[in-house]
């Protein structure tokens, strides 16, 4: 099936079928590279979400009782189908998100790490067993799926994040409802059909498109047992507070302000190269993107800014159809306007413009949502551009006098997603690792996002709830444990009544 056909079939995916929306409400889907509306996605009404949840609830018991090996086999087949259809999926991602083909391919590769871990769900579902804990009693534990669960995913990773949120949930036996961003619904619909072709029973995988009305029903509906969310910090907090008020498990991942500390002993050419890719890749629309360089010492800062200026001025922004571009547009015109607003206000507050990307050359010939790379120097902690996550290619330089000052500034920030240090000094790196109050830490690694078999999650207001994305904790989050104490009686056992509290002192 071609991408053009997919554009014409933007529906929901419920009980194994594409289902037209019934609410009468729609949202435009844009090609950010051209600024054109390429589709309309239905926004589900409350009753449509309820119906989807009911279909998932009916399908759940059979899937729960399917052997873990059979479930893993279906997940493995899904992985094979993703690889077989990778080029078409790349095209879908690029069309609706504006990413370059290289970036889209990288997203799929990282997303498949979560699928790979889910294939190993039988191992992660193993319980414990203890013989004769007391009185000839054996004790053991089991893990069971929790039922219908929901994932609410963002626009910036239409494949990687949904795979990370849902693969393990499916593999351990749950029925999963995905509410993708209404800005990028086509990728979710594309791989929904791959789940069906892989042999996943109808109703176990659902895609419901929508806005706050759909989200609020997922949060309130008593059948939905857990919510995984990725998005902005204010919405993550709302999801967490609302979901937990309905006694659901919630793991809500928010934004980040991720700094790269640059020490005087760092190789500045290599550091600058690392900064460029981590800061501006995907038009800086990553929650783990480097937000800015925090440079120790004036001389180091002056040298690094000079190197960065030359590199940034040579970056090329454009459509994914141009193989030579470094990154593409931001997702919408509203996003573009918001980034320009941050730049304008920072200048008013005293920031120095090193490179100005507010009006790139391509805007003279294209209506796409393009911004060139911007670099702002002499940023202070009181400025809005320091305090807020800027989801677009406007990056900052903060000058500090010492490593301790850098650590203190980062620890005082309300967000704590990722942070990295570039240095050749082991003592500095160790101090940094031990004292920094951030969930994911890099040492000479520009984007410290863990591989799929390690837990992903920030600290402070970058994450709400105790669950993680990626990693073995996914199996814990999407299962419930049962502990069983078992004893088989024989003729020699005493039958007298005892009122003492049971203990392991008995034979």
Would you name the residues annotated as active-site residues?
287
Contact 20, 214 (CB under 8 A): no
Reduced to 3 states (helix: H, G, I; strand: E, B; else coil), residue 367 is coil
Cα angle: 59, vertex 189, 113; to 5 degrees: 85
Reduced to 3 states (helix: H, G, I; strand: E, B; else coil), residue 14 is strand
Q: How far apart are CA 273 and CA 307, in angstroms?
A: 9
Q: What is the Cβ-side half-sphere exposure of residue 160, based on CA atoms within 13 angstroms? A: 21
| Residue 26, strand partner residues | 42
Residue burial 227-246, b: 16+ Cβ < 10 Å; e: rest = bbbbbebebbebbbebbbee
For residue 152, give both structure tokens.
């609410």
Query: Which DSSP helix (H) or strand (E) runs through 372?
Result: none
Q: CA–CA distance from 21 to each of 10, 100, 155, 214, 317 (Å)?
A: 9, 31, 21, 12, 36
Contact 91, 98 (CB under 8 A): no
Cβ-Cβ contacts under 8 Å for 31 (sequence gap 6 or more): 38, 95, 96, 98, 368
């Amino acid at each position: 099936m071609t991408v053009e056909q997919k554009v014409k079939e933007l529906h929901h995916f419920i009980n194994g079928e594409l289902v037209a929306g019934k609410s009468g409400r729609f949202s435009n889907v844009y090609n950010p590279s051209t600024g054109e509306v390429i589709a309309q996605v239905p926004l589900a009404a409350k009753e449509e979400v309820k119906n989807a949840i009911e279909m998932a609830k009916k399908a759940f018991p059979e899937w729960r009782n399917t052997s873990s090996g059979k479930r893993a086999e279906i997940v493995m087949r899904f992985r094979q189908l993703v690889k077989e259809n990778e080029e078409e999926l790349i095209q879908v991602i690029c069309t609706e998100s504006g990413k370059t083909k290289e970036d889209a391919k990288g997203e799929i590769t990282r997303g498949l790490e979560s699928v790979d871990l889910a294939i190993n769900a039988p191992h992660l579902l193993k319980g414990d067993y203890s013989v004769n804990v007391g009185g000839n009693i054996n004790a053991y534990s089991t893990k069971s799926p929790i039922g219908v669960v929901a994932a609410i995913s963002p626009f910036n990773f239409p494949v990687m994040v949904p795979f990370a949120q849902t693969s393990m949930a499916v593999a351990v036996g749950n029925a999963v409802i995905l509410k993708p961003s209404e800005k990028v619904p086509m990728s979710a619909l594309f791989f929904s059909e791959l789940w069906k072709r892989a042999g996943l029973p109808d109703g176990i995988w659902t895609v419901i498109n929508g806005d706050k009305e759909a989200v609020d029903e997922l949060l309130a509906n008593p059948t939905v047992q857990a919510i995984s969310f990725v998005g902005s910090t204010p919405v993550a907090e709302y999801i967490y507070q609302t979901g937990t008020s309905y006694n659901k498990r919630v793991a809500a991942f928010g934004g980040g302000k991720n700094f790269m500390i640059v020490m005087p002993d760092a190789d500045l050419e290599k550091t600058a190269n690392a900064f460029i890719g981590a800061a501006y890749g995907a038009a800086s629309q990553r929650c783990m993107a480097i937000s800015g360089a925090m440079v120790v010492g004036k001389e180091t800062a002056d040298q690094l800014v000079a190197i960065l200026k030359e590199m940034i001025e040579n970056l090329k922004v454009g459509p994914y159809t141009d193989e030579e571009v470094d990154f593409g547009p931001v997702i919408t015109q509203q996003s573009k306007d918001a980034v320009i607003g941050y730049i304008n206000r920072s200048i008013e507050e005293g920031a120095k413009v090193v490179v100005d990307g507010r009006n790139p050359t391509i805007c003279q010939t294209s209506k796409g949502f393009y911004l060139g790379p911007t670099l702002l120097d002499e940023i202070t902690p009181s400025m809005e551009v320091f305090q807020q996550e800027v989801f677009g290619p406007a990056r900052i330089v903060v000058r500090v006098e010492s490593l301790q000052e850098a650590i203190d500034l980062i620890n005082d920030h309300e967000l704590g997603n990722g942070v990295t240090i570039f240095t050749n000094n082991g003592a500095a790196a160790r101090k940094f690792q031990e004292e920094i109050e951030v969930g994911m830490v890099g040492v000479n690694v520009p984007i410290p996002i863990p591989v799929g078999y390690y837990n992903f999650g920030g600290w402070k207001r970058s994450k709400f709830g105790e669950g993680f994305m990626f990693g073995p904790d996914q199996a814990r989050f999407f299962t419930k444990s049962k502990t069983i104490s078992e004893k088989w009686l024989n003729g020699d056992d005493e039958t007298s009544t005892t009122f003492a509290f049971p203990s392991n002192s008995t034979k």
